[in-house]
Structure 1
């Protein structure tokens, strides 16, 4: 029985690790590991229920469950009220499926060091894939076969996770791994830059500042200065290299902003976003409680285009490239609160653990916090949850990082007894 437990534990950890390795390598690479884990979790829960096992949840786990459940219910409510297509429930239904992972991970513990290594290597792989796409295949942007905007955000998140892992090994005085994984982190950042997904870059200064503030007690001024110098040098070099398109994307954004405000041009990437946000705000003012529903919002936006309230280009989009406004316009204030709930509840859980226990606990809490902050920034200029990749990436990793957090606490409690 013990051997079987160890083997199953190894499989669970390998699948979680494979998620970080595969997510940007294959088309829909984000689906494979979560699918097998959820299938395993479903079988495990059914098996335990047949044995009449009663699963108990902590207060925090109940908060997560209710937050996820309320998020799904808002979609179900608007689906029923507006007679929407059943396919619109596909993404939010996965949110409930991920809850099965809570009892699974409580039985099969996640090995922190394993996953830390997988995260760092995942950042390296994302950089290699991006370089291959951009400079070998000569594609306009990395991750061309996927949704490159989503992939750019995911790459940046993995890079930041790798950077947190780098600081962890620095605190453990494992300096060779520190140097290696810092390079891997830079490769992840480069992958995001090569995706040309500008929305993924907005939160980078804030997240770096947040990481440095949390780890300030572990790093000297000399180390801090060296870290900042390398980061600035790396970003500047990547920006100045013509083939990366980074500088061009910044200039393009500046020109598109000027064109929108000076000439009311809503037919560019940035201009269309401004018009779509305007569209959503007009919709919110008309139906603030339960919103327009998916079909109603799309049809109304087309009418706004016909009335010249927004550009015809902007009127053709199914979501408004801002998750907060999109949820507010389609599901009203109820939908907005549900979205904020699935962001704020887990963030509060992770945030209160920062620098309150072992370095392992702080590291995992940092992974959770940075994950949520990053996605919150992506949602400002992209309908991150309008895509399957965004739903799986966010909701799956919240559960994974929470499970890792519980592992650190169990380890701390065990050590305190001896």
Structure 2
């Protein structure tokens, strides 16, 4: 065995997969550093194996999807005077391409049993670490919300992703009890982050999984799961003060919005105003959207015309607090088509594979992971964060290759 053979490449990636999940939110280590190191190894691997690397149409499609974010932001990058802020998240996704090509080439050496071990233990340890930090920050230090080493919203999203990966991996696992522990730990971390954008995703994705697996699980178990979740939600509301405060605050905000008093709903109402401003920015230049400087100037016009309130002016760059609306405002139609490619199509692909083969656990993990991020991005520009963009792209390609290997379609001749 040499440093750059298929077995070694599969082994190295498995270790990185474990570390990415285990260290995602539990340490100050930014996991995209680990992925960057793996990408450098992948480039060297591809150089060594260049004569046997053959690309298929599917490979070109995956590379295109990983490039869409960066490509769609080139116009505003140019108009802004070459500000790398527009391209950086997309380029982090592009950097995952060598890893994907390496995995496709090394797929005959991938052991699904070993990779399940890497993924299950990584997700569980990562969720336990997230819960430990969240409990320490809120219960020991007396903090109002858990944020780990990140902004609390991002901490909530990433903790929630670990929770849902644990849920999906229960399909066909011999470690269901351990994974259930990871689910509970991820739930605790997500709740203590008080990130509503993450908390509300949990029942939506779980409901999707119940629908997808209804015939396999059975009506009785589905009913039990629904009742169990409702009971858990009630207990959380009754026993965790910050959860109760956050839910009461949400109800109060929605009531204000329903009464037409959007300005009184500081958080949710503020997002609605930002989404309105982003929509108006899109109308100004539908093809590619506006630059951040142009949006800030345009928001002053919207305030002067009474379209939005002065509160919007306090948000730098006109940040829309939604991947969809942000793309609309600073990406236009081109950006929206790109977003469909990197945020929607992966989930649709995994869904189609899982419907055809309900025993393909990795397709189920892909559906779950993709759906979670598609929903996270409704209330935050999650993929604008470089580490999250890298994590998202890396997990997508790893899960994709594992689903192909399971289906015996991912090997090179």
Change beyond 3 A, Cα 1:185–1:133 = same
In structure 2, the partner of 1:40 is: 41
In structure 1, the partner of 2:132 is: 128
Whether 1:343 and 2:340 are equivalent positions in the alignment is no
* Higher mean C-alpha displacement, 337-346 vs 291-300: 291-300
> 1:140: Cα distance to partner?
1.2
Q: Distance in 2 between matches of 1:68 and 1:301?
A: 32
* Higher mean C-alpha displacement, 126-135 vs 398-407: 126-135
> 1:21: Cα distance to partner?
0.5
> 1:390: Cα distance to partner?
2.8
In structure 2, the partner of 1:148 is: 152
Aligned pairs for 1:207-246 (under 5 A) are 207-243=205-241, 245-246=242-243
Q: Distance in 2 between matches of 1:156 and 1:138?
A: 22
Q: Summarize deviations over 1:97-125 as a string: whole Å, max 9, x none.
A: 11111122121636332223322332233
Aligned pairs for 1:230-379 (under 5 A) are 230-243=228-241, 245-260=242-257, 261-265=259-263, 268-317=266-315, 318=317, 319-357=319-357, 359=359, 361=360, 363-379=361-377
- Structure 1 portions without partners, runs of 5+: none
Q: Distance in 2 between matches of 1:412 and 1:80?
A: 38
* Higher mean C-alpha displacement, 101-110 vs 298-307: 298-307
Indicate the RMSD between aligned Cα atoms, in angstroms: 2.5
> 1:365: Cα distance to partner?
0.6
In structure 1, the partner of 2:385 is: 387
In structure 2, the partner of 1:113 is: 116
**TM-score (norm: length of structure 1):** 0.88
Q: Distance in 2 between matches of 1:301 and 1:61?
A: 42
**TM-score (norm: length of structure 2):** 0.89
> 1:330: Cα distance to partner?
1.0
> 1:23: Cα distance to partner?
0.4
Q: Retained in 1: the 8 A contact 2:25–2:149?
A: no
Q: Distance in 1 between matches of 2:165 and 2:179?
A: 11
Change beyond 3 A, Cα 1:11–1:209 = same
- Structure 2 portions without partners, runs of 5+: none
Q: Distance in 1 between matches of 2:305 and 2:160?
A: 39
In structure 2, the partner of 1:206 is: 204
Q: Distance in 1 between matches of 2:2 and 2:302?
A: 64
Change beyond 3 A, Cα 1:163–1:193 = same
> 1:2: Cα distance to partner?
6.7
Change beyond 3 A, Cα 1:281–1:98 = same
- What number of residue pairs does the alignment pair up? 402
> 1:406: Cα distance to partner?
2.2
> 1:297: Cα distance to partner?
1.8
Q: Retained in 2: the 8 A contact 1:12–1:37?
A: yes
* Higher mean C-alpha displacement, 285-294 vs 156-165: 285-294
Q: Distance in 2 between matches of 1:227 and 1:257?
A: 28
Aligned pairs for 1:398-413 (under 5 A) are 398-410=396-408
> 1:364: Cα distance to partner?
0.5
Q: Retained in 2: the 8 A contact 1:350–1:366?
A: yes
Change beyond 3 A, Cα 1:412–1:402 = closer
Q: Summarize deviations over 1:129-158 as a string: whole Å, max 9, x none.
A: 222222122211112531111121111121
In structure 2, the partner of 1:55 is: 53
Q: Distance in 1 between matches of 2:54 and 2:4?
A: 24
Change beyond 3 A, Cα 1:144–1:124 = closer
